[in-house]
Copies of this chain bind each other. A is one copy, B any other.
Amino acid sequence: MTVTIKDVAKVANVSYSTVSKALNNSPLVKEATKKKVLKVAKELGYEPNLAAKQLVSKRTEVIGLVWPTIERIVLATLVTNISNAFKQTPYSMILSVDTPETAMETFRKFSVDGIIAFAESDLPLESFANIPVVNYGVYKQGDVSYPTIDANHEKAIELAVDHLHRQGHKHIVYAGLLDTTDPLQIEKVESYRKAMKKFSIENCIHEVDTKGLDWQDGYHAVDKILQSDPIPTAIIGGSYDISGGIVRALQEREISIPEEMSIVSYDNIPQMETMEVPMTCVGVPVNELAKEIVSSIIDLIEEKEEDAWIKKLTPVLTVRESTAFNK
Within 294-318 of A, Cβ neighbours of B (below 8 Å) are at none
B83 touches A96 (CB 8 A): yes
A102 touches B76 (CB 8 A): no
Residues of B contacting A96 in the complex (Cβ-Cβ under 8 angstroms): 83, 95
A92 touches B109 (CB 8 A): yes
Residues of B contacting A110 in the complex (Cβ-Cβ under 8 angstroms): 50, 92, 94
Q: How far is the CB of A146 from chain B (nearest CB, A)?
A: 23
Q: How far is the CB of A74 from chain B (nearest CB, A)?
A: 11
Which segment, of A30-38, A51-59, A135-143, A281-289, faces chain B? A51-59
A79 touches B51 (CB 8 A): no
Residues of B contacting A79 in the complex (Cβ-Cβ under 8 angstroms): 70, 97
A97 touches B95 (CB 8 A): yes
Query: A49 within 8 Å of B by Cβ?
Result: yes
Question: What's the Cα separation between A47 and B111 when bound, in Å?
Answer: 10
Count residues on chain A whose CB falls below 8 Å from chain B CBs.
34
Question: What's the Cα separation between A94 and B98 when bound, in Å?
Answer: 11
B80 touches A106 (CB 8 A): no
- Supposing A55-B52, A76-B70, A110-B50 touch, asked if A94 and B97 sit within 8 A by C-beta, the answer is no
Query: A20 within 8 Å of B by Cβ?
Result: no
A111 touches B50 (CB 8 A): yes
A97 touches B109 (CB 8 A): no
Residues of B contacting A98 in the complex (Cβ-Cβ under 8 angstroms): 80, 83-84
- Supposing A70-B80, A95-B97, A97-B83 touch, asked if A109 and B50 sit within 8 A by C-beta, the answer is yes
Within 10-63 of A, Cβ neighbours of B (below 8 Å) are at 47-52, 54-55, 60
Question: What's the Cα separation between A94 and B112 when bound, in Å?
Answer: 12
Residues of B contacting A70 in the complex (Cβ-Cβ under 8 angstroms): 70, 73, 76-77, 79-80
Residues of B contacting A106 in the complex (Cβ-Cβ under 8 angstroms): 92
Question: What's the Cα separation between A76 and B216 when bound, in Å?
Answer: 20
Q: How far is the CB of A76 from chain B (nearest CB, A)?
A: 4
Q: How far is the CB of A2 from chain B (nearest CB, A)?
A: 9
Residues of B contacting A47 in the complex (Cβ-Cβ under 8 angstroms): 108-109
Question: What's the Cα separation between A51 and B49 when bound, in Å?
Answer: 10
A102 touches B73 (CB 8 A): no
Q: How far is the CB of A144 from chain B (nearest CB, A)?
A: 28
Residues of B contacting A97 in the complex (Cβ-Cβ under 8 angstroms): 79-80, 83, 95
Query: A325 within 8 Å of B by Cβ?
Result: no
Q: How far is the CB of A197 from chain B (nearest CB, A)?
A: 36
B92 touches A95 (CB 8 A): no
Question: What's the Cα separation between A97 and B111 when bound, in Å?
Answer: 21
Query: A253 within 8 Å of B by Cβ?
Result: no
Other contacts beyond A51-B60, A83-B97: 14, CB < 8 A: A47-B109, A48-B109, A50-B110, A50-B111, A51-B55, A52-B55, A55-B55, A70-B70, A70-B79, A70-B80, A79-B97, A83-B96, A92-B109, A95-B97
